[in-house]
Amino acid sequence: MTIIEQLSDIQKQFISFESIPELWKNQPTYLLVQMLFIMGGAVTLLHALINGGRRPLLWLCIICHGLVVECVCYLMDEIDNFWHSRAPIMFFRHRLPLYVIILYSVFYYIAIEIAYRTNKTKMGFIVTVGLNVFLIDLPYDIIGIKFVHWTWHDTDPNIGDRMYWVPLTSYYFHMVFSASFSFWFFIKGVDLDQTYTSRTEILTSLKAIFLSTPCGILCFSVLYHPLHDLYNVPTQIIVMFLIALYIMLSILKRKPRQMFNRPLTIILYLIVYYATFLCFAIWGKPENEISFGPHEEIGPCNITVSSFGTVSIYQDLELYTKNTRTKSIKSSIKIFSCHTVFIMVISILAIRVIHSLFHKTYYKL
């Protein structure tokens, strides 16, 4: 093998490109979702640059934090339990689509911008960010798995409890990791307009990028794994408790700030965002979507490996899945056949998030 071929092989291991017409033919909704998040990344970056302060640094730190989180997921076998469908640009041996890195800027930046307007206290701000990320992520998670934009491991006990085929730990993950990131980035105070010295900003940024992930994992260790693994508490109960705790703290620690500008670009983007998933729920045809790319390997189900939580509770995990993936996907589609419920959920979420940007308690009209 020549040096050029070796370099080409190394390059393909890191980054690969797929045919957009072919992807559009097989999974048009997946391409639309990717365009939606790339547009959202541009909107949030533009908002950060126009409004200044710490916002451009916040946007950059969010992107870096997202990259760290994704790399950790692929490097640790214990949490390497999901596979994305092929995208036009993929990293790390077809595991990481480009849009997923940008996705964090949409989730976190918008959630932080909303929370910044609704709460000046640090505790109230942090939990409000977690709730906002949950509300923004919910339709994306449900629609994504419905249209096979990615798949989850079938027998991993840590993601066994699901709602509409979405592991409830996914929502737990987003709420605690976003709160952890907010804690470290705003450790000096909840102020997006005040800038600090270069040394302080660099140290704060490094903490937010690299310490948010271990702190998020610690949140799993402290609450989720002891309750779920030791006392067999269903994940639904744990997630509901976390949501209730966040809501209670956001209300008790609520202290809105006076602001004179409305983020119109973010408001318009959120309208497009929720409307897109609403259209998929009403008119989408998941049975026509064909997912290409890495998936859980098919093989004999009697081969198992140890799956453990951070409290050292070991459970058997089937290394392979049966040759029934198509059946599983069709089953998940059948479970989610009631469009009315999901339409109501998306409508309520959209009204809740967008309304918070217009709330009279922090806009001087």
Query: Quick one: pLDDT band at residue 20, thresholds 50, 70, 90?
Result: very high
Which tens digit of pLDDT belongs to each residue from 106-142?
999 999 999 998 888 899 999 999 999 999 999 999 9
> When comparing pLDDT for 253 and 139, which is higher?
139
Cα distances from 217 to residues 44, 121, 211, 213, in angstroms, run 27, 24, 10, 6
Task: Please check whether residue 280 is in contact with residue 147, taking contact to mean a CB–CB distance below 8 angstroms.
Answer: yes
**Short-list 94, 98, 107, CA closest to 295:** 94
Query: Quick one: pLDDT band at residue 362, thresholds 50, 70, 90?
Result: very low
pLDDT at residue 284 tops 70: yes
Greatest Cα pair distance, the chain, in angstroms, is 70
**Short-list 210, 211, 198, 204, CA closest to 186:** 204
Helix (H/G/I), strand (E/B), else coil: 365: coil
pLDDT at residue 44 tops 60: yes
Helix (H/G/I), strand (E/B), else coil: 311: coil
Query: Quick one: pLDDT band at residue 250, thresholds 50, 70, 90?
Result: confident
- Which stretch, 21-25, 226-230, 308-312, 324-328, has highest mean pLDDT? 21-25
pLDDT at 356: 60
Task: Please check whether residue 156 is in contact with residue 309, taking contact to mean a CB–CB distance below 8 angstroms.
Answer: no
> When comparing pLDDT for 85 and 315, which is higher?
85
17 backbone dihedrals φ, ψ, rounded to 5°? -125, 140
Helix (H/G/I), strand (E/B), else coil: 314: strand
pLDDT at 10: 61
For the residues 280-290, what does the mean pLDDT come to?
88
Residues 268/273/277/278 CA torsion (nearest 10 deg) = -20
Query: Quick one: pLDDT band at residue 87, thresholds 50, 70, 90?
Result: very high
pLDDT at 354: 58
Which two tokens mark 49? 């640059």
Cα distances from 355 to residues 44, 64, 108, 128, 288, in angstroms, run 19, 30, 18, 14, 35
pLDDT at residue 353 tops 70: no
> When comparing pLDDT for 300 and 165, which is higher?
165
By mean pLDDT, which of 55-64, 167-176, 247-256, 321-330 is the weakest? Answer: 321-330
For the residues 330-348, what does the mean pLDDT come to?
50
Q: β-strands 82-84, 166-167: how paired?
A: unpaired
DSSP 321: B
